[in-house]
Every structure is written in structure tokens, then in C-alpha cells.
Chains A and B, each alone.
Chain A
Amino acid sequence: MDDSQGAHRGLVDQELVSIVARFVNIRWLAGLGLLGATWLATAVFTLALPETPLYVIGAAILAYNAAFHFILRRILRTKSPNIVWLHRLTQIQIGLDWLAMTAIIHFSGGVESPALFYFFFHIIISAILLSPRATFSYAAGATLLVGATVLLEYVGWLPHFSPLVDAASDLHLRPIFVSGVMLFFVSAMFVSAYLASNINSRLRRREREVFELSENLQRAYSRLQTLYDSAQAINSTLELEQVLDRIVRRTADTMNVRACSIRLLDETGTRMRVAAVYGLSDAYVRKGDLVIDQNPLVREVLGGKVVAVVDVRTNKRLQYRAQALTEGIYSMLSAPLRGKKGPLGLIRAYSTELNHFTEADASFLAAMASEGSIAIENAMAYRALGQLDEMKSKFVLMVTHELRSPISVIRSLLRTMTGGYAGILSDGQKDLVKRALHRADFLQALIDDLLDLAAGKNELGLKEERAEVRLDEIVRQVVERFEMAARENHIELEYRAPERVPVPVCAGMEGLDRVFNNLVSNAVKYTPGGGRVSITMSLEAGWARVIITDTGIGIPEESLDHLFEEFYRAPNAKAQVKEGTGLGLAITKDLVTRYGGQISVQSAVGQGTTFTVTLPLAAEPPA
């Protein structure tokens, strides 16, 4: 608020300077005009004017105006013009002008002088430049000066000049004429002083109102803009620390205050910890948590109110009053952060001035708080989700490790048995052991897949070494692996390499092998005898594309959406091949995504399926 008043005063002062400057300019004309008019009246119209004093007055006007001109230029050249000086200068100018005017009136006929009317200009000028009181005192001063001159001429202590009427005229000696002219002169002076200063002060007031309004409008607009910008900036990230940091920074900058902080409720809901801070010292930040039980102010804010601390020195409700004063903070404004499920914490702005915050500040902070609450809640949800995912992955990893070990021992033992190393088995025993082994093998496959999936999703899991590998070689090896199986089932299996090899991609060798092994194995598994499986690789602008097409049983439309989900198997696939973990395609997709690629599927039941894998090419190998 103070700032805007200061700015307003600055604006008025600027206007004063420009008016004073304009009068200096006009006064050149007045001085020259007097010289010209005197010459015209005496030389051309041969009026009986005392020309020498009038020329002297004209020269004096020009001389003191020149002085004002230089003083004004010097004042204006300094960075912040001294306003007191400027006012004094204005008063001296008016005073000198009036002395000159009085002298002109005396030499141009006293009470008979037509120059009397010129006083009205000065009244209007002083009404514009000075306060109403000063204007009235100048009117009184002018009345005294003119009255004294007229009186002195009347009593004969001053000589009288009669340029307009004939020399023998004694108008200036007739009391009725003198008092009549003076009465009208004085009343006209005061009426015009009243009217001019009245109109002027109204204009001033209107001007100030307009200025304040436009100032408020400007501020409201800038805050709205900030709110909008902030909403965008805050929501452009889901990392909680970043979100909080942006909110405090923006708020402090926009409100033009020293500092801003965000405190969030801890898990117990009894304390509030600093979560983000801008503009406060470390010592102040480390002072401790806000304890809700001991802090009625915080309770009020958490209840949903925006609360201002007008004077930190006298506010008994503050938990850390001494620390705030040491930090140089004299007023605060706090607004609640509220999520969908209840209070999250509070946002607080700190000022080094007493009673700094206005209604507008309060509503701005409240708006910022509600905008920020949404972003904070989103970021918190995102973080919780990430933690949950990580926990789940770790759990799966641990469990599968524990499952894997006994299964592999069971299989080892059963194989020892089927191998006949524990004595000869009867046919019935052998059949039972084989069935058990078969189930154990499946369980092992399931656990291996699960482990792969968990390891893939777990950042902390054993990371796969990535390198530049030859995609064309890997796919060719996979295809060769299935040649035997394809021939046995009378399936035509073909591989079309791209026009240009090698095809370098940045990936894990084992992972890529797994991807294409899964896809080709599925294609062969679900294609009936006499069918065809073809694998085609092509290159285009930085990408390698591998298309695996079969003439197999196809995938029902309603299954396509679920195909890459964990444990999902299409019903017709289940009917054909009983065992399958339903994890193969989930792993495939996970791997392809990790290598920066994409996988898509098209299929029609009874006609066949096409999987398309695209992977980004690694930088061209040196030729």
C-alpha cells in the first residue's frame, strides 16, 4: 500500500515539475510581451507611459526567469529532485511575479490599469500548483499589494500615471471609483481562487482515484497471471520436492515478501514439519516442528482459515516468537493446505514489515494454497504409488528366490529317481514320478518368469548390462532354434533379413533373445500343421522393425486388450496348450519398453496373428 502511495506522490511531483517548467517557458513570453507591448504603446500609439520603468520590469522578469531556468535544470538533473526545494522555488516565482505585476499595474495606471485582469491568471496558476490555503493567502497578498499601491497613489505618496485616460483625469482620486474597482477586484480574486482551487482539488482527487484503481487492477491482473502460471508450473511435475519448491518460490516472488514456507502434517497428525522453504535462514528452519497442541494459531489455520499475524512482537499465540524476531520477521500470513481427505499442512508468507499483509494478499495466498494443495496431493499419491510398486517388486523378488531353491532341489531329486539311481522303479512308480516332475518343471518355469518380471520392474534388482548388440543376429539365432520344431510340425518357418546389416540396437543380449524367443515360440506353438510363420526385419529412419506373422489360431478380439497383462491367457490358447504361465507376453512387453521400443498386435481368430516390434537403432557403427 505504501508503495503505491509513494508512486502516486511521485507522479504528482512529476506533474508539478512539468508545470513549473511550462511556466518558466511562458514567462519568457510574458517578459518579451511586456517589452513589446511597452514599445507598441509608446512608439506606435504614443500613449503617455513611463517607458523606462516598464522596460526595466520586462528585463527584470527575463533576468529572474533565466535564473529559474538554470535552477530548475539543475534540480531536474539530480536523480531524485528535492520536492521541498521545488515547492519553495514555486513560491519564490509567484512572489516575484506578483511584485512585477504590482509594479506593472502601478506604471500602467494603478486603479485604472487594464493589467489588473492579469492577476486572475496567477490565481489560477497558484491554485494548480499550490494548496487551497496558499492560493487564498496569495489572493490576500495580491489584494494587499494592489490595495497599497492604489492607496499610496490616492494619498499622493506615489506618483500616478494615466496612460489610457487623459492626463488631467482624476479617476484615481475619486473614492467611489477607487473603492468600486477594488471591491470588484478583491471579490473576483477570492471567487476565482475558490473556484480554481476547488475544481483543481476535485481533479486531483479523481486523478488519485483513477491512479489507485488502475494500480489495483494491474496488481490483480499480475496476481491472476501468476496464479495461472503457477498452476501450470506446479502441475508440470509429480516430484513432491519440486512441487513444493516451486510453490514457495512463486508465492514469495509474487507477494513481494521476504520468505515463504510450506509445512506438512507428519504421520501422527500432531506435528508439522518444514517441507519446503524459500528466503529463511537455516537456523530459523531448524528451530523445530510446529506442535499442534501447543499452537492455537496453527489450529485455527488447519481449521480452514487464513490467519494474519499483524505484529509478531505482541502475538502471544506464536510458538517461536523470539526466533521470528531474530530472523527479522514482523508479520506473517498463513493459509491452510487442504486435501480431499483433510488438512495437509499450511503455507506461510513472512514479511519484514509490521502489518504488511492486506485483504488482497490473504485471498491470493488462499488461492495459491488451494491450487498448491491439489498439486501436493497428486505428488504425494504419485510417490506412494512408486513406493508401493517398489515394495511389491522387492517382495516378489524375495518370495520367488525362496520358492526357486526348493523347486530346483525337488527337480534334482526327482530326476535322480527317474534316472534309476535310487533303485529300479516299477512302471507305475515311474509314471507317478514323471507326473510329479512335469508339474515341478511347470512350477519352475512360472517362478522363473515371475522372477524375470520382478527383476525387470525393480530398479534395485540386478541390472542387465546393456550394450550395442546385433538385432539381426539375435533374431536369426532365435529362428534357427525353432527350425527343428517347425519341421516336425510341418510348419513353414522363414526369416527375411533387412536389406542392410548389421542392425545395431542398444539393449541386453539376453533380454532381446527372450523377446523374440517368446514371440517365435508362441507363433510356432499356436500354428497348426501346414501353416506358416514368417519373421521380417526392416529398417526405417532410426528404427528397426520386426514383424512376426503366423497363420495360427489367432486371438479373439476381446482378448487383445488383455494380452500383455500378467497371468492373462486367451481362452483359445488355453484350450490348445494347457500349460502356460501367462507371463511371457508381459515380460516381452516390459523388456521392449525398457529398450525404448514398442510392441503391437493384430489378429483375427482362425486366420493368424501379427506382432510388430520396433526398437530404436543405436548410433551407426563406424564404417
Chain B
Amino acid sequence: MANEKILIIDDDDDLVHALRLPLEAAGYKVSRAASGNEGLQFIKDFKPDLVILDVMMDTTTEGFHVSLTLRSPEPHSEYKEFSKVPILMLTSIHATTTLRFGPDKDYLPVDAFMEKPIEPAELLKKVREHLAKKQA
């Protein structure tokens, strides 16, 4: 179970720190990319078992873009091998909109959402859950 690789794509150093500590304490190998593009580059070498993705980075939809690219239905997509990697999306959207985010196969292909601020126990629970699902 341990030694699974998790890629965090987020531009906020402090938040990455808050995520990294509990994940590493739980024995995961954590790596980080600071932008969507960097993340898409990095993923090919790092080959993570799970991706934690921030919704808003430089542009407000950068996170969406990353998830759509990873889950592209194109038969020759360069990310084909990652299409089954679970994606946890971090949001802080609650207070500004009542748009209900839900995983959506076509428009927002992610596996779960996590509301900021991060509750470490909650984070670990969700990560474990989705890694287990992937294995199954």
C-alpha cells in the first residue's frame, strides 16, 4: 500500500506543504508541479498513482484543462496510459458560487472533490479510498 506515488499540481507552496506532510507521514511518495503545463510534462516521467489537482492556478480553469487532457477520449492521446489514474480536485469554490461540482465524465472528468481548507484525516481517507478503487 505504501510507496504509491502522488503528484500534486498546485501553485501555492504553503498549501502543497500542508498536503505533503500528512501524505508523506502516511508513507506516500509525493512530488509536486507548480502549474498545469508543468504537471502535464512531469506526469510522463513520474507516472503517479494518483493526482491531486488545484482548480485555479494562473488561469481560473487551468485545473479543468489538466483533467480534460489526462482523460482525453482521443484514441491516440499521449496520456492514454494515465486515463485511469484517479484525480482529486481541490476547490475553494463554495462561497462564491452555488454551482454544484460533481464528477462528470465529459466535462469534468475527476474522481472526487476536496474543499479547502484541507483536513488531513479527510485527505488521507479520500486518497486511500481512490487508490483502493484503482487497484480493484
Contacts and interface: CB of A to CB of B under 8 A. Distances in A.
A416 B99 contact: no
A505 to B, nearest CB: 16
B117 A465 contact: no
Contacts of B15: 408-409, 412
B95 A452 contact: yes
Contacts of B19: 412
Contact of A415 (B95, B99, B119): B119
A78 interface: no
A408 B98 contact: no
Most buried by B among A415, A416, A447: A416
A421 B12 CA distance: 19
A421 B98 contact: no
B92 interface: yes
Contacts of A511: 98
A182 interface: no
Contacts of B100: 510
Nearest to B92: A408
Given A413-B14, A508-B98, A408 B25 contact: no
B63 to A, nearest CB: 14
A408 B117 contact: yes
A448 B94 CA distance: 9
A444 interface: yes
B98 A464 contact: yes
B98 A419 contact: no
Contact of A416 (B94, B95, B97, B118): B118
Contact of A404 (B25, B92, B98, B120): B92
B17 interface: yes
Contacts of A409: 12, 14-15, 18, 116-117
B96 to A, nearest CB: 6
Given A412-B116, A415-B119, A455 B18 contact: no
B124 to A, nearest CB: 9
Q: With a 10 A CB-CB cut-off, give which of A405, A412, A462 has the most chain B CB atoms.
A: A412
A441 to B, nearest CB: 9
Contacts of A451: 95-96
Contacts of B121: 419
A413 to B, nearest CB: 5
A412 B94 CA distance: 16
A509 interface: yes
A411 interface: yes
A419 B22 contact: yes
Chain A, interface residues (CB within 8 Å), range: 20 to 34
Interface string B115-135: 011111100000000000000
A78 B91 CA distance: 87
Which of B18, B21, B116, B120 has the largest count of A CB atoms less than 10 A from its CB?
Answer: B18
B131 to A, nearest CB: 19
A452 B14 CA distance: 26
A401 interface: yes
A408 B14 CA distance: 10
Given A409-B18, A416-B22, A421-B22, A455 B117 contact: no
Interface string A500-524: 0000000011110000000000000
B8 to A, nearest CB: 12
A247 to B, nearest CB: 42
**Which of B15, B22, B96, B116 counts the most chain A CB atoms within 10 A?**
B96
A462 B99 contact: yes
Nearest to B117: A411
B57 to A, nearest CB: 12
Contacts of B118: 412, 415-416
Contacts of B21: 416, 421-422
18 contacts: A408-B92, A408-B116, A409-B15, A412-B14, A412-B116, A413-B17, A415-B118, A419-B121, A444-B117, A448-B94, A451-B96, A452-B95, A455-B97, A462-B96, A464-B97, A464-B98, A510-B100, A511-B98
Given A416-B21, A464-B98, 14 more contacts: A401-B96, A404-B95, A405-B92, A408-B117, A409-B14, A412-B18, A412-B116, A415-B119, A419-B120, A421-B21, A448-B94, A448-B95, A452-B95, A465-B98
Interface of B: 12, 14-15, 17-19, 21-22, 25, 92, 94-100, 116-121
Interface of A: 401, 404-405, 407-413, 415-416, 419, 421-422, 444, 447-448, 451-452, 455, 461-462, 464-465, 508-511
